[in-house]
Amino acid sequence: MPPPPPTTTAELVSAVRVVLERYWGYDTLRPLQGEAIAAGLKQRDSLVVMPTGGGKSLCYQVPPVVANRLDVVVSPLISLMKDQVDGLRACGYPASALHSQLEPAERQATIQRLREGTDRLVFVSPERLMRNDFLATLQDARVRAFSIDEAHCISHWGHDFRPEYRQLATLKQRFPGVSVHAFTATATPRVREDIVEQLRLQEPEVLVGRFDRPNLSYRIVPRVDVQSQVLEIVQRHAREAVIVYCITRRETESIAAALAAAGVSAAAYHAGMAREERRKTQEAFSEERLDVVVATVAFGMGIDRSNVRCVVHAAMPKSVEHYQQETGRAGRDGLEAECVLLYSAADVLRWKGLMERAGEDGDAEAVAAQLELLGHMQGICGTLECRHRALSRYFGQAYEAESCDACDVCLDEVDAMPESTVIAQKILSCVARLDQRFGVGHVVQVCRGAATEAVRRFGHEGLSTYGLLSHLPEKTLTNLIYQLVDQRLLVRSPGDRPVLQLAPDAMDVLRGSRDVQLVEPKSAAVRRSHADESSWEGVDRGLFEALRALRRTIATERSVPPYVVFGDASLRAMARERPSTLAGMRLVRGVGAKKLADLGETFVDAIVTYCDSADLETDVVSPPVPATAPAAIGPVRVARPAETRAQAFELFGASASLADVADATGRTPATVCNYLVDFIEETRPSSVEVWVDPAAYERVVTAAVDAEPRGRLKPIHTALDGDVDYDTIRIVLAHQRTHDAAASEEGLS
């Protein structure tokens, strides 16, 4: 029987603190999280607008476990549901998801848990939620709140309108005593008003966080050679997670191929690929077996990898909202990340053409709204204002800092091109002398003095502007022409074969009464932002990489994404503080009670072993153990891993049980199981009956034959209906590997 929910304010505050520490290892909340959680606990309708990475999910995860109730989260993508449920279960949080990829037995078990009241959170799609049979189940289960993730999808004015979200408007009518909470990362005031209206929220608490992401460095760079520029950016983030966004499927494939040819672990991802191929690519990226995904914009919403260190836009996105959301995929763990947009005014023309063609038989008002959003994005790209300030202003917020120290403008990475006005005059003059009848490519060839067949055929080698800009590379000159289009000094005619024409303001430039500023990126190396420098301060990079490798091994065994084990922020804290005790590990942010019991000793062992070999000091930060720490966790220093491992091997050799070895060494069952696996692989015992029941052994062997992918624990655990624990499966597989290796060696002798 769960304890009664807290009622007084003091009880609520205390309960929230306990829950934060128990499940997530947090002792503080981010801005607005407290207010959003309070609205959830009071069951007051709310609209919460926080940037991606701002901690929205915690706002709807905390209330149901504090209040001992069932809440529903509406999410648009199965992959996001699965990732969140994996992460919550790893913390010991009772959560589940209902979606089309579940086996019938698993779906029925989830429904049963809802009826029994054992789960606190269930994730569903809007389509499944609004089925009459499921609504009836929720009424029987006494659901107390609905949280609508990606709530901007319900707004016609939003950048990602989804008609299926409109069905959610009836929730307040069907569940009159239940609160509804809308969450989104990007919403202008008009979209916020529409969300409140569409969901029928009643006197909602409207909480709007800061849209600025101080851990992100923004760069908007003239696009000159997209493949070489993307490669240079990706190489700055070697062995780190990068997402590259493209407009078309063809571009994703060509850029991915170029990266792969340069030795980068990269793959394309777009809607034209087979579903199984997309799934494998997404899983490889999520599991850190793939570093770079080159994708169309639909990809980003389906991934919940928190440690993306760079987002590249190979072309301009179609709205500031899209840009904010897509760049928001970077640095969701709160650590530094880079966002680079390779921009050309040609992108505006491409998007405009796509929007107008798509709207030929559709809603003219919707097309007009899209074009308005496109214009705002063009304005962001065309300014040399601090990127953080420009984005904040777009979303209606002030940016007070004089310099962000985290964008190309404030880091002084963009140069005004020398003699910009003279170069502009030569380009504009060339367009005029060509009678405004030719496109960008031909103007470039004439300005550079190229002897092409078209130039000779039209006799343009005799023009006074022929060869005036021969010192500029072709791609650079093309970019400069598009900068003039962006500054509304040139226009491109409509149609399939657009030509360059002079805009009215061009005459002022030609007469010398108006100056022009053209820009080019500096050739110097990219500077690191302040956030990048400070987040690595005191971190031993070698230890960080060793902990990443350990995390990846554990994640592979458990068939979960690595971030579910520990996030990068926690690993950096471990590599900075280097705790040698469980008490010290408990103080690392992100290490909750469940993970401490499950993984604490394994990571402490790895830290101590590395520090011994590298002659590094441990317990660099070791504040006193708080009074609320579990009594079993004291400030006693653990024995060195090598000593304990040797003791465990001796005991296993004497046929001691796992429990006996755990008692003798003072280590957790999970760590002792690791020792036993090592013991089996090194000593190759003929039998493991001392540690595994023979019937369970045979069941694991049988299930492992058909389990896919091979060597993973979770498929075997699932095939056995969860009746055999993970430690037993690991022991059996280790023994099977040694048995197979021995047979192979015997066959060779």
pLDDT given at position 358: 76
Collect all residues with Cβ–Cβ distance below 8 Å to 31 and sequence separation of at least 6: 54, 209, 210
- SS3 track for 155-190: CCCCCCCCHHHHHHHHHHHHCCCCEEEEEECCCCHH
Within 10 A of 48 (CB to CB), how many other CB atoms are there? Answer: 28
Whether the per-residue pLDDT at 642 is higher than 70: the answer is no
Alpha-carbon radius of gyration of the chain: 30
Domain boundaries, the chain: 9-208, 216-402, 416-521, 536-614, 641-748
Rounded mean pLDDT, 301-315: 84
Whether the per-residue pLDDT at 685 is higher than 80: the answer is yes
**What's at 723, amino acid-wise?**
D
> How many Å apart are CA 369 and CA 389, to the nearest integer?
24
Tens-digit pLDDT profile for residues 322-334 = 899 899 889 988 8
3-state secondary structure of 632: coil
Of the candidate CATH numbers 1.20.120.920, 3.40.50.300, 3.40.50.1400, 3.40.640.10, the domain formed by 216-402 belongs to 3.40.50.300
DSSP for 381-449 reads: HH--S-HHHHHHHHTT-----S--SSBTTTTT-EEEPTTHHHHHHHHHHHHHHTTT-S-HHHHHHHHHT
Q: How confident is the model at residue 5 (pLDDT cuts 50, 70, 90)?
A: low
DSSP H or E run through 268: strand 266-269
pLDDT given at position 397: 85
> How many Å apart are CA 391 and CA 377, to the nearest integer?
10
pLDDT given at position 672: 82
Range scoring the smallest mean pLDDT among 124-138, 298-312, 522-536, 560-574: 522-536
- Rounded alpha-carbon distances, angstroms, from residue 687 to 673, 678, 692, 711: 16, 15, 9, 20
Please tell me the pTM assigned to this model: 0.69
Whether the per-residue pLDDT at 379 is higher than 90: the answer is no
Whether the per-residue pLDDT at 746 is higher than 70: the answer is no
H helix runs in 487-620, sequence order: 506-510, 530-535, 541-558, 562-565, 568-577, 582-586, 593-614
Whether the per-residue pLDDT at 342 is higher than 90: the answer is yes
- Report the CATH superfamily, name and number, of domain 9-208: P-loop containing nucleotide triphosphate hydrolases (3.40.50.300)
> How many Å apart are CA 200 and CA 318, to the nearest integer?
29
> How many Å apart are CA 4 and CA 117, to the nearest integer?
14
Whether the per-residue pLDDT at 308 is higher than 80: the answer is yes
Collect all residues with Cβ–Cβ distance below 8 Å to 199 and sequence separation of at least 6: 148, 151, 154, 168, 169, 171, 172, 180, 182
Whether the per-residue pLDDT at 88 is higher than 80: the answer is yes
3-state secondary structure of 194: helix
266-269/308-313 β-pairing: unpaired
> How many Å apart are CA 284 and CA 562, to the nearest integer?
11
Collect all residues with Cβ–Cβ distance below 8 Å to 683 and sequence separation of at least 6: 649, 653
Range scoring the smallest mean pLDDT among 42-46, 280-284, 431-435: 280-284
Q: Report the percent of the chain where pLDDT is more than 90.
A: 41
**CATH class as words, domain 536-614:** mainly alpha
Whether the per-residue pLDDT at 736 is higher than 50: the answer is yes
Residue 264 sits at the vertex; the CA angle it makes with 261 and 265, to the nearest 5 degrees, is 115
Tens-digit pLDDT profile for residues 359-373 = 766 677 778 888 888
Domain 9-208 shares a fold with domain 536-614: no
> How many Å apart are CA 601 and CA 593, to the nearest integer?
13
Collect all residues with Cβ–Cβ distance below 8 Å to 372 and sequence separation of at least 6: none
pLDDT given at position 427: 97
Range scoring the smallest mean pLDDT among 252-266, 542-556, 703-717: 703-717
Domain spanning 416-521, CATH architecture: Orthogonal Bundle (1.10)
Whether the per-residue pLDDT at 499 is higher than 50: the answer is yes
Contact indicator for 599, 565 with CB cutoff of 8 Å: yes
Closest CA to 123 of 105, 143, 140: 143
Contact indicator for 100, 94 with CB cutoff of 8 Å: no
pLDDT given at position 627: 34
Q: How confident is the model at residue 529 (pLDDT cuts 50, 70, 90)?
A: low
Contact indicator for 343, 220 with CB cutoff of 8 Å: yes
**What's at 156, amino acid-wise?**
H
**What's at 736, amino acid-wise?**
Q
H helix runs in 20-77, sequence order: 33-41, 56-67
Rounded mean pLDDT, 283-310: 82
